[in-house]
Structure 1
Amino acid sequence: MKISTHEGIDQSLCGEPLEVNAGTSTVRLLCLPSMAADDSGLIHGGFIFGLADYAAMLSINHPNVVLGAADTRFLKPSRVGDTLIARAQDQTPEDRKHLVQVDVSCNDDVVFSGTFTCFVPQKHVLSKE
């Protein structure tokens, strides 16, 4: 499926789409040394959240989609060198308000889980029209 949203995103920071279908997406992120919060190699949670947010946006795949809220949990730490896979599922397709469940895994372990409340306004949020 053609990607219709967040086309300018830096995929090295937010992940590379592996699959984008109506109501679902799968995105992969390689945890780079530049994402480390400290000398132990702990990945800053903002990068994991960004990956999950991007997966949520892709599951809706509308040019105007925006995040309104998120209820999230960091379940396990991620480290430099980890490959994270985010899987998003739109629970309320075809509405202007979407609830998207996103789970982020490293190997067989879920490291992050959340419900993202997304909206599709009629115009882009920065539109002056």
Structure 2
Amino acid sequence: MKIKTHELIDRSLCGEPVRVKDGMSEIRLECAPCMAADESGLVHGGFIFGLADYAAMLAVNHPNVVLGAAETRFLKPSRVGDVLVARAECSSPEGSRHMVKVEVFCADDIVFSGTFTCFIPQKHVLEGR
């Protein structure tokens, strides 16, 4: 499926799409040294959130999709060198609102889970600003 949103995102920081189908996506991210929060190699949670957010956007896959809210849980730490895979699935949309469940895995372990509330406004959020 053609990707219709977030075309200019830095995939080295937010992940590389593996699969994008109607209502779902799978994104892969290799945790790089620039993501470390400290000398131990702990990956800053913002990068994991960015991966999950990108997966949610691609599950909706509309040019105007934006994030309105997120309920998230960081379940296990990630470190430099880990390969993370985010799997997102969109539930039935209600008008312009889409609820997207995202889980991020490191091998078989779930390291992050969240529900993302995404909206599709009629025009781009920056149009006319």
Q: Shorter-chain TM-score: what band?
A: over 0.9
RMSD: 1.0
Alignment partner, residue 122 of structure 2? 122
Q: Distance in 1 between matches of 2:91 and 2:71?
A: 14
Gaps of 5+ in 2: none
8 Å contact from structure 1 (residues 23, 93) kept in 2: no
Q: Distance in 2 between matches of 1:40 and 1:119?
A: 38
Task: Figure out how many residues of one structure are paired with residues of the other and give that number.
Answer: 129
Q: Specify whether residues 5 and 94 from structure 1 end up closer, same or farther in structure 2 by C-alpha distance, changes over 3 A only.
A: farther
Counterpart amino acid of residue 26 in structure 2? T
**TM-score normalised by L of structure 1:** 0.98
Shift of 1:91: 1.0
Q: Superposition pairs for residues 97-112 of structure 1, below 5 Å?
A: 97-112=97-112
Counterpart amino acid of residue 70 in structure 1? A
Deviations 1:60-83, CA, capped at 9 Å, x for gaps: 000000000000000000000000
Counterpart amino acid of residue 53 in structure 2? D
Q: Superposition pairs for residues 49-68 of structure 1, below 5 Å?
A: 49-68=49-68
- Would you say 1:7 and 2:23 are equivalent positions? no
- Would you say 1:95 and 2:116 are equivalent positions? no
**TM-score normalised by L of structure 2:** 0.98
Q: Distance in 2 between matches of 1:71 and 1:33?
A: 27
Shift of 1:55: 0.1
Alignment partner, residue 40 of structure 1? 40
3-state SS in 2 of match to 1:54: helix
Q: Distance in 1 between matches of 2:92 and 2:39?
A: 41
Shift of 1:92: 2.1
Alignment partner, residue 75 of structure 2? 75
Shift of 1:94: 6.5
3-state SS in 2 of match to 1:48: helix
